[in-house]
Every structure is written in structure tokens, then in C-alpha cells.
């Protein structure tokens, strides 16, 4: 047998063996410029998959592919990480509420759009929504979270101010605006919370029609009832 047809030696075969395929999970060193964003994204994935109790610094580090000590460079404790995730949620909620106002004709229609956007956000992001209102899990002294919550509440307050514009009120406009925003928030937040907790299931079971559309229909009826009680 000629030399060019001789089988490769074991050493040659070992040298020619293909390299192992690296893990699909990106591994970022602790000094990576986007580490904070990567940890927040990882934390949000964990939150959606495992709920609030499954969101820890170690779990977020593992999900992001970094050492367990890396989060300490950006978050002093788990409340810091959870607060950053909640801030992301409030910014998204602000965007959803703003989108709910688009195309509305008249103040009442705008308020209905806000209510549907609020409940729709809660339904689409149940774990994130619950975290956003778990005060014991968050640090509301953090500027990032303060700004995000203020932006979301500002959308609601401006919509209420538009609805109150031109109406005669016995109380100062600023107080009436705050009261109106609080009333609207209580209605939609209460509805969203009861829906996520399954407390509206007995009510929805008594309604006819498409099961997927029952919650939206019930919300429309609640909003109509609220308008009737104001007149």
C-alpha cells in the first residue's frame, strides 16, 4: 500500500478531530459593557418562566452565562435587580397606555382605550405585572424605578385631565385630576389583578360566547357601568 493511501495514525486522527461546538448560551465576562442589560434580560426570562420566587442573583447570572459574583458589580442585592426589571415593565406599560390613546375620538373613548391597554398588558405579562406591584420586592428609592412609574402614571393623569377639561368642579382641578386618575387606576388595576388571580373565573363561567373574548367583553361591560354611575 502506498504512503498516500495509508490510514492516518491515531495521533494524526486526534489532531484532525473536529473541535467541540460551543454552547449556544453567550458567556459574557464580568467587565462586559452590556452586562447590566444582559442580566436584566436574563432576569425577565427567569421571571416569566419561574415566577418572582425563581428570580435570584445567582439564577440571573447563570442564565446570562456569567459568574455568580458578576451581578454584584451592578446590583447590590436581588431587590436592585428586581427593581430594574420592574422599571422595564413600567416603561413598557407607559408605551402600551400611550398606544391605547391613539386614534381615540373623545375623552371617554380615550379612557376606555387606556383601560383595555392596561388589562391587555397585564394579561400578556402576568409575572412582570405582579412584580411591578410587589412593593416588598422593589426599591422605589431608585431613580430608574421612580422615573418609570412616574411616566406610566403621567399618561393616565393627562388622559383624566383631558376628560375633565371644560367641566365645572367644586374642588381644585389638580385634586379632581388626582381623584379621577386614582379612580380609573383602581378600576383597571382591580380588574387586572382579579383576572390574573383567577378570581373572575366564576363570573366568566356564567357568560356566553367565545371563552377567549369573555374577559374583554366583561371589561367593556364594567367600563360601561362605570360611565353610567358617573351620570
**114 CB-near residues (< 8 Å, 6+ apart):** 97, 100, 101, 155, 156, 159, 184, 188
Burial 169-180 (b: 16+ CB within 10 A, else e): eeeeeeebbeeb
What's the pLDDT score for residue 25?
Answer: 45
Average pLDDT, the chain: 84
pLDDT surpassing 60 at residue 12? no
* Residues present in the chain in total: 231
Which helix (DSSP H) or strand (DSSP E) does residue 93 occupy? helix 78-101
Residue 231: pLDDT band (50, 70, 90) is low
Residue 172: pLDDT band (50, 70, 90) is low
Residue 51: pLDDT band (50, 70, 90) is very high
Range 39-42 contact pairs with CB under 8 angstroms and sequence separation of 24 or more = 39/64, 39/66, 39/70, 39/71, 39/74, 39/75, 39/81, 40/81, 40/84, 40/85, 40/88
**pTM beyond 0.85:** no
- 62-107 residue pLDDT tens: 999 998 888 887 898 999 999 999 999 999 999 999 999 998 888 8
Q: Give the largest CA-CA distance in the chain.
A: 107
Range from 18-27, 112-121, 176-185 that averages highest in pLDDT: 112-121
pLDDT surpassing 60 at residue 23? no
Mean pLDDT along residues 152-181: 76
What's the pLDDT score for residue 178?
Answer: 83
Q: Are 30 and 72 in contact (CB under 8 A)?
A: no
- 113-165 residue pLDDT tens: 999 999 999 999 999 999 999 999 999 999 999 999 999 999 988 888 887 77
Amino acid at each position: 500500500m502506498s504512503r498516500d493511501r495509508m490510514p492516518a495514525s491515531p495521533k494524526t486522527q486526534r489532531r484532525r478531530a473536529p473541535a467541540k461546538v460551543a454552547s449556544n448560551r453567550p458567556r459574557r465576562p464580568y467587565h462586559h459593557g452590556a452586562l447590566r442589560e444582559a442580566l436584566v434580560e436574563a432576569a425577565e426570562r427567569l421571571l416569566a418562566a419561574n415566577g418572582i420566587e425563581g428570580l435570584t442573583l445567582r439564577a440571573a447570572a447563570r442564565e446570562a452565562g456569567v459568574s455568580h459574583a458578576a451581578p454584584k458589580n451592578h446590583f447590590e442585592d436581588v431587590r436592585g435587580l428586581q427593581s430594574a426589571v420592574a422599571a422595564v415593565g413600567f416603561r413598557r406599560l407607559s408605551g402600551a397606555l400611550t398606544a391605547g390613546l391613539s386614534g381615540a375620538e373623545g375623552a371617554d373613548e380615550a379612557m376606555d382605550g387606556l383601560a383595555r391597554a392596561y388589562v391587555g398588558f397585564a394579561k400578556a405579562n402576568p409575572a412582570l405585572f405582579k412584580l411591578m406591584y410587589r412593593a416588598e420586592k422593589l426599591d422605589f428609592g431608585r431613580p430608574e424605578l421612580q422615573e418609570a412609574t412616574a411616566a406610566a402614571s403621567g399618561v393616565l393623569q393627562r388622559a383624566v385631565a383631558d376628560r375633565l377639561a371644560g367641566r365645572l368642579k367644586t374642588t381644585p382641578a389638580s385634586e379632581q385630576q388626582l381623584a379621577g386618575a386614582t379612580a380609573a387606576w383602581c378600576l383597571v388595576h382591580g380588574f387586572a389583578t382579579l383576572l390574573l388571580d383567577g378570581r373572575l373565573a366564576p363570573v366568566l363561567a356564567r357568560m356566553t360566547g367565545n371563552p377567549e373574548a369573555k374577559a374583554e367583553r366583561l371589561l367593556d361591560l364594567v367600563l360601561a357601568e362605570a360611565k353610567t354611575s358617573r351620570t
